[in-house]
Structure 1
Amino acid sequence: MAADAAGRIGHWRLVMRQSFTWWSFTMGRDVEPEAFLRDAAGAGAQGVEMLPQAHWPIARDLGLELVTVTGHKLEEGFNDPARHEGLQGDVRRMIDTAAEGGALAVIVFAGNRFGDGDDDRAIAACVEGLAPVAAHAHGAGVRLLIELLNSKVDHPGQQCDRTAFGAQVVRGVGSPALKLLYDGYHMQLMEGDLSRTIKANFDLIGHVHTAGAPGRRDLDDRQEINWRGVAGLLRHLGYDQWVGHEFIPRGEPIAALKEAVALFDAPGREA
């Protein structure tokens, strides 16, 4: 591996840092990108996710890491062998774009169920399709993240809707470049038991997303996840990857982001 690629992988071995997703904090709002990104950095965010590529230079100039980008449409994923060739090309190109632009990770998906929807078959297909892409990512110094999504509300039909499914894919590929994107909002809707699940799969988790459940709003007392307890658990386990806030603020977004960052920065106890 090239020296610069090794250095990029090393970014993931720092202390737990916090980011926010561009889409959720700006949805339905008329924002000026530079001012918004500057205010987000002032609120304590150290990175931004899924940022339109046109804004990447602004984020870099402000000292914000480009943490994640999306590799392909989430409905059409690696669970379908017929899509492998096209998806592999798309994701390889995005990996190269990420490496060139300084983005740390590319998000990939299993896709919607089709045919008989058999999970074992789909897991095997994901392993087969993602293995060569993971090798490409490893060589480029970019992380791949397979995201866990809920199929109950936001993504009907999505097959990777349980932690066990994604965990089997990651173990099957067996590459340090592929990890789970553990989204607490999605998994609260599908299976609950977040703390026990995080502990059981901690070695596979490369990224965490937050949002209040069930409404995907702020991390406050109007939702059911004890995010302070989850933060304490992650700290107790020695989590040193990114936590990305992917909720839709009820009110002023920068104030909501500042509160979320403070919640994860505060000393906490294991849940």
Structure 2
Amino acid sequence: MAPLKFCANISWLFTELPDFHQRISAAAAAGFQAVEAAWLYESDLEQLRRAREAAGVELVLINTPPGDIKGGDLGLGAVPGREAEFRQGLDLALKYARALECKRIHLMAGRVPMGSQRKAVAKEMEAVFVQNLKYAADILSKEGITGLIEPINTRITDPRYFLDSPHQAAEILEKVGKPNIKLQMDVFHWQIMDGNLTQNIQKYLPLIGHVQVAQVPGRNEPDSAGELDYRYLFNTLERLHYQGYIGCEYKPLGSTQEGLGWMRDYCTHSE
């Protein structure tokens, strides 16, 4: 079985360093061959490009812009009336993806609007999301880029996020019907919302285009105290021949470097 490939999420790791270009270099020095990030849009694009090339790492994933975070946004993909802003955000994400040779963009669904009940707006939000994803798929296919949708748990992390389970995401992907729009599996969110990880991984693996990991419930290193046996989960992904990257999207308990023992342990045992 081929060993798994890990990438450092530099929105969460190496935050001891203030700038993303510094974190790219630190990730490479720590042994990562790839990085990912949520939002890089306040960083100088040329500086990021030079840092990535100098470090020799691949940029695996970025997110579409969140919208107005202070105003309560966390993505716009499923938000009615914000379609033009979603397209503008997609254009900006594409600009960064092209320059940084990034082949995956997380198309963020967004939150149920304030003052609205989830059940009352669910059908409208799904319809908006499906149309926006179809639009994005056609744009991204010309660039050889995969779009991803990620369920985020509504029990702990974000009660108003629209897309919150792998089952809901699979239904939306079926309605979109585009081969370059796939499912992003964040094990942290899946465990909190549904558990049943072995069955869900087996069921949805054909749809999965990216994986992210963190321990539950603290969202710390995979080998920190918590509910999940990551050695078992990594073995499961190996056995099912998962070929993509696994993003390390967790909060280090101490320094990032001190918390990477789990990865060194995995690499030692997979040699």
TM category (shorter chain) comes to: 0.7 to 0.9
- Which of residues 228, 248, 252 in structure 1 aligns to 2:255? 252
- Which of residues 48, 63, 70 in structure 2 aligns to 1:55? 48
Shift of 1:139: 0.7
Paired residue for 1:90?
89
Asked whether the equivalents of residues 25 and 51 of structure 2 are also in contact (C-alpha less than 8 Å), the reply is no
State the TM-score, normalizing by the size of structure 1. 0.84
- Which of residues 156, 165, 169 in structure 2 aligns to 1:162? 165
Partners of 2:192 and 2:266 lie apart in 1 by 22
2:49 alignment partner AA: W
Paired residue for 1:7?
none
Asked whether the equivalents of residues 231 and 264 of structure 1 are also in contact (C-alpha less than 8 Å), the reply is no
Partners of 2:164 and 2:26 lie apart in 1 by 34
Aligned 1:43-122 pairs, distance under 5 A: 43-50=30-37, 52=43, 53=45, 54-73=47-66, 75-114=74-113, 115-118=116-119, 119-122=122-125
Partners of 1:231 and 1:258 lie apart in 2 by 15
Aligned 1:222-241 pairs, distance under 5 A: 222-241=225-244
Partners of 1:57 and 1:45 lie apart in 2 by 17
Superposition misfits of 4+ residues, deviation over 4 angstroms: 31-36
Paired residue for 2:70?
none
Q: 1:261 to 1:181 in 2, by over 3 A?
A: farther
Shift of 1:258: 4.9
1:117 alignment partner AA: R
Could you report, residue by residue, the CA deviation over 1:199-251 in whole angstroms, capped at 9, with x for unpaired residues?
A: 11111110000011100111115111111111111111111111000011112
* 1:203 correspondence with 2:206: yes
Shift of 1:257: 3.0
Partners of 2:159 and 2:237 lie apart in 1 by 29
Paired residue for 1:25?
13
1:64 alignment partner AA: V
Asked whether the equivalents of residues 80 and 124 of structure 2 are also in contact (C-alpha less than 8 Å), the reply is no
* 1:180 correspondence with 2:183: yes
Shift of 1:68: 1.1
Paired residue for 2:131?
128
Asked whether the equivalents of residues 218 and 247 of structure 1 are also in contact (C-alpha less than 8 Å), the reply is yes
Partners of 1:261 and 1:92 lie apart in 2 by 38
Partners of 2:138 and 2:192 lie apart in 1 by 33
Partners of 1:193 and 1:41 lie apart in 2 by 34
Paired residue for 1:3?
none
Between 1:33-42 and 1:249-258, the stretch displaced more is 33-42
Q: Which runs of 5+ in 2 are unaligned?
A: 67-72
Asked whether the equivalents of residues 151 and 184 of structure 2 are also in contact (C-alpha less than 8 Å), the reply is yes
State the TM-score, normalizing by the size of structure 2. 0.84
Shift of 1:63: 1.0
Aligned residues: 254
Between 1:233-242 and 1:153-162, the stretch displaced more is 153-162
